[in-house]
Structure 1
Amino acid sequence: MLPLSLPSPSQGVWHLGPFPLRAYALCIIAGILAAGWFAERRWTKRGGEPGVISDIALWAVPFGVVGGRLYHVVTDPELYFKAGQDPWAAFYVWNGGLGIWGAIAMGALGAWIGARRKGVSFGEVAGVLAPAIPLAQAIGRLGNWFNQELFGGPTDLPWGLQISPTRRPDGYEGYANFHPTFLYESLWDLGVVGLVLWVEARFKVTGGRLFAVYVMGYTAGRGWIEYLRIDTVNHILGLRLNVWTSVIVFAAAAAYFVIAGRRARDRDDQRDADASPAP
């Protein structure tokens, strides 16, 4: 028999003496470690020097965390700077609140710096990271489960998520079960991992174009998942901000995929023409 709903953890913080152990942070760290391991294996399998990805991660991860937090705070400033709110809470990353768009943008900058310092191609690094990043996201999303946050609207589906009364938003106090959008996104991310690996193997797509496949796959899912969520967020023309961001980023990634592909074909054609013997 199917369960009538999915339970939420009774707590997300444990204390080892005076030190808090937060499930959200542990999930983020586990995701980063899994992605690093996966990317390192992909890099060395291609003949890359062992340890390069780990060294680049020393730049990419801190930049990504800062970027993710900045995006969250900038797009939801009322959570921290409105009357009655604590502005210092903007620095409390362990309580949740990392925007993936800022994390990817700043993380990419950190990875570029790291790649430059190691003397390796940033495009090759991006291709190696393409399936590793959604793996990290899939694991990291479980942190939202422990925090009982970022869920969707009420549902009577058997996988509806039980939310504690104190965590239910205004207007939804009479409902007990909600869409587990964190789980939807986690499963979607795993699907994106498979998609990227399939495109890479089937069509021999590499480098920045493979990273664009990841971006397109993720944003396609984030758009409809975001539409289900009921947490407070800014809207533009009736749509949640992150829906618009998904559309724009998807279009940019698709344009890059097409343009970069055409340029690669033109280079191949020119190389073939140069190699052809003169008549």
Structure 2
Amino acid sequence: MLMYPDIDPVAFQIGPLAVHWYGLMYAFGFIGAYFLGRYRARFDWTPVQPKQMEDLLIYVAVGVIAGGRLGYILFYDLGAVADDPMRLFRVWQGGMSFHGGLIGVLLACGIYARRIGCTFLQLMDFVAPLVPLGLGLGRIGNFINGELWGHTTSLPWGMVYEPLGMDPRHPSQLYQFLLEGVLLFTVLWLFSRKPRPTMAVSGLFLAVYGSVRFLVEFVRIPDAHIGYLAFDWLTMGQLLSTPMIIGGLILIGLAYRGSQKPKT
């Protein structure tokens, strides 16, 4: 049994400005994605040039933050925002939806792809391996905030989080850090080291993320105000991840059926 280390969610403060670890995790994720993107852009078969990474990062950052926050409100917290509209803007308190952020990134990349003259799917294949770094760091931010805990467990790495009682719980944020961050990054980075058929990398991202998120939801406590949607186990996260798995498998199948060729 482990005890949760009581971490101050505020990393440092400058006068009245409090800088939260949650926000810093997003900043570190964007910075890391920028440098990884510049490295990937060196290859002549990618649609992005190194000098274009600055603009691409801005587009993606806007998509992640706006889509992630709006998605969380729509999927998980609409009632609370109706009672307190300013909650929409208190991002440092947590409350970002991956699925909403994904929609935001898709829209942003669709716009940017037209700007640089490549197809939407070619750009998404470039961006997909850059995303897990931010996902993993975001889960560390959830852990520091003391949110998104799992059910009680007797496993030796169960962690006691006193605000929820003295029973050890699955540290589901750390599971997601390892699966959505470390594992997904490793799989996508190794797979995309050489040219692949268009849609293959994007499809793999959707299928792997959707699968690991679906599995973690079995040990993660659903949002109290939503609970289980059906069968006493189906969560909102699983419902939103199911189309990702199906769509990812379809994209992989289409890619390797020869309907699209890698850009060379």
Q: Is TM > 0.5 for Structure 1 vs Structure 2?
A: yes
Deviation at 1:144, TM superposition (A): 0.4
1:69 aligns with 69
Measured in 1, the distance between the counterparts of 2:220 and 2:33 equals 27
Per the alignment, residue 215 of structure 1 pairs with 206
**Residue 194 in structure 1 maps to residue 186 in structure 2:** yes
Contact 2:37 2:50 in 1 (8 A): no
1:275 counterpart residue number: none
2:198, 2:255 within 8 Å by CA — same for their partners in 1?
Answer: no
Equivalent of 1:160 in 158, 167, 172: 158
TM-score normalized by the length of structure 1: 0.82
Aligned position for 2:174:
183
Residue segments in structure 1 that go unaligned for 5+ positions in a row: 269-279
How big is the alpha-carbon RMSD for the aligned residues of Structure 1 and Structure 2? 2.2
Q: Deviations over 1:25-66 (max 9, x none)?
A: 001111121122112210123365222122112112112211
| Structure of greater Rg | 1
Task: Report the counterpart of residue 250 of structure 2 in structure 1.
Answer: 255
Within the candidate set 101, 104, 119, 1:103 is matched to: 101
Q: Report how many residues are paired.
A: 253
The alpha-carbon distance between structure 1 residues 6 and 42, as it changes in their structure 2 partners (threshold 3 A), is farther
Check conservation: 2:3, 2:161, Cα contact below 8 A: no
Amino acid at match of 1:50: P
CA distance in 1, matches of 2:227, 2:67: 19
Aligned match for 2:241, one of 246, 249, 254? 246
Is the partner of 2:19 in helix, strand or coil? strand
Instruction: Please tell me whether the aligned partners of residues 125 and 207 of structure 1 are also in contact (alpha carbons under 8 angstroms).
Output: no
**Structure 2 gaps, min length 5:** none
TM-score, normalized by length of structure 2? 0.87
CA drift of 1:92 comes to: 1.2
Which residue identity is paired with 1:79? A
Answering whether residue 28 of structure 2 is matched by residue 30 of structure 1, we say: yes
Alpha-carbon separation, structure 2, partners of 1:49 and 1:245: 33
**Contact between 2:206 and 2:247, CA under 8 Å: does it hold in 1?**
no
Residue number in structure 2 paired with 1:237: 230
Deviation at 1:201, TM superposition (A): 4.8
In the alignment, is residue 11 of structure 1 matched against residue 12 of structure 2? no
